[in-house]
Amino acid sequence: MIRALLIDEKDNVATAVSDIKAGEVISVKKGSVSKEIKVKEAIAFGHKIALCDLVKGTDIIKYGEVIGRAKKDIKAGEWVHTHNTEDTYVPPK
């Protein structure tokens, strides 16, 4: 069963297509290669999951485009959302 989708091969996050529980191991296909990720925390339907470790300052890539930046270290399998990312389009106040 597909649990998360990778939109573009350049992406470093995948999108959950159903709720995923902490501790589950999911498989995400990147080109012809499947990668298994152990989910570190619950990921809600439609939310992003890190496919690799993202150190603070790393660009978040979805749809093959930069959609934000890690504002703290994010481990593979963690939820990627506004609590650990920052906008790259609007300068911080």
Using one digit for the tens of pLDDT, what is the confidence trace for 54-65?
999 999 999 999
Q: How confident is the model at residue 92 (pLDDT cuts 50, 70, 90)?
A: low
Give SS3 for 10.
coil
Yes or no: say if 79 and 43 are a contact pair by the CB < 8 Å rule: yes
Domains of the chain, each with CATH number or no CATH = 4-86 (2.30.130.110)
* Per-position DSSP letters for 21-39, written without gaps between them: -TT-EEEEEETTEEEEEE-
Using one digit for the tens of pLDDT, what is the confidence trace for 17-42?
999 999 999 999 888 889 999 999 99
Using one digit for the tens of pLDDT, what is the confidence trace for 71-80?
999 999 999 9
